[in-house]
A and B are shown apart, each in its own frame.
Chain A
């Protein structure tokens, strides 16, 4: 006879699934007033927007900025290799710093969300990064197809 009881798992899951444990505080936090919790909720949204902004910097402004710096280096020293090297290393270092800033914002967001009264166990950085990348890709291809790339073919006079 087939077993239909979902809890009858033969003793395979004898405890909680990994990563689903409730948050354990060193001491029970003293929550603020309802007004303060509402403010914290707004602050969490603001931090989230800031995280999206930092992520979007990775996909446009930062590379552009380093390419501009590289062009200035090439102009000053008349060497393409040094310019490429500086652009590559600079972008990498800035990316690392940006990720650290993002992580710090993520941790802050978790605390503010908890202060706002949510049982926030995980950060949102991964999802913010993924959605920002998708958004950047859409913006890039929009610019590439509609404005920059095909523009010369569709409108040969430009």
Chain B
């Protein structure tokens, strides 16, 4: 280094040059931030948006009012609201820690022999075989979905039929007429647990169509949830509805010390003030579902099951589900692989909004190319 060069290295940058460099760095940071495309998660069936502030406020209010005592073990206010909503007596509604807890409790209450069987179409909600196992009974998964498939598996050991409608993960629905046929065909000892956690999204029949059968069939129990269309999965609140004479059984399903006080408050406020919001969500999902199914049908390699839920169950010819999941994941679109849901050739894609649908379709086209 020369004599003058040695001293020149101590020259500071002028302020303009420093500012220009800082501006360049800020622009680069901004460009990088904008170029990052956040992954989109279409693997869960829960609602992707935050709960309504009114619900959060109600929960906060309840928490501040005092959690040091049992305020309402029987969730009387919530039961009353639900019964009023569905036009049933309060005694025929029970609130639990999510529909899953109520379903498990029902299986436990109804099956007490090692030979007892729980029949369920398959693929379906993964909890059904688990709850049969916990009740020390057997699960009998029946390939396919529909009343005839179920009836073909019913025998003298069958005590419970667990039917998810719309079915998770296929999205298929048992219409009220078909359900009536099933109930009429089933022996007296068999109880049908109708899991309608996703019923709000169905448009093939009125949401409460199956509830009309409760009066005629005391062996039917309907289970609903606040985890899906109501967007309150974290609260773990669900409820069961039964026909005349089911009161005793329903009482057995309730948690021993009642439902969480905060969950009660959130669910109650949701029922009272966010009904219109849920209706808008449901309309949005129905519209996007129709568009997505139409788009999928126009692709030769894709076979999609007609869905009544907030997701679509599909397979790609020549590509197994796990590979399709991997290819979609590489472009930031996460979907649920069918391997864990009962069919490794399929994937389950949740429906959010138009932008999510467009992004999924672009990713799908890329994955199939």
Contacts and interface: CB of A to CB of B under 8 A. Distances in A.
Interface in A6-37: 21, 23-27, 29-30, 32
Interface stretch (B1-9, B94-102, B173-181, B223-231): B1-9
A111 B4 CA distance: 10
Contacts of B9: 25, 27, 29-30
- From B6, B13, B15, B18, residue with most partner A Cβ within 10 Å: B6
Size class of the contact patch on chain B: 10 to 19
B3 to A, nearest CB: 11
User: Secondary structure of the A side of the interface?
Assistant: loop
Nearest to A113: B10
Contact of B13 (A25, A29, A32, A112): A25
A114 B9 CA distance: 10
B7 A23 contact: no
Contact of A25 (B6, B12, B15): B12
A25 B1 contact: no
A151 B45 CA distance: 108
Interface string A32-53: 1000000000000000000000
B13 A24 contact: yes
A111 B18 contact: no
B6 A115 contact: yes
Interface in B264-305: none
A27 B13 CA distance: 10
B38 interface: no
Contacts of B11: 25-26, 111
Interface in A111-130: 111-112, 114-115
Contact of B12 (A23, A30, A108): A23
Interface string B15-48: 1001000000000000000000000000000000
Contacts of A112: 7
A47 to B, nearest CB: 11
Interface of A: 21, 23-27, 29-30, 32, 108, 111-112, 114-115
28 contacts: A21-B15, A21-B18, A23-B12, A24-B12, A24-B13, A24-B18, A25-B9, A25-B10, A25-B11, A25-B12, A25-B13, A26-B11, A26-B13, A27-B9, A29-B9, A29-B10, A30-B1, A32-B6, A108-B7, A111-B7, A111-B8, A111-B10, A111-B11, A112-B7, A114-B10, A115-B6, A115-B7, A115-B10
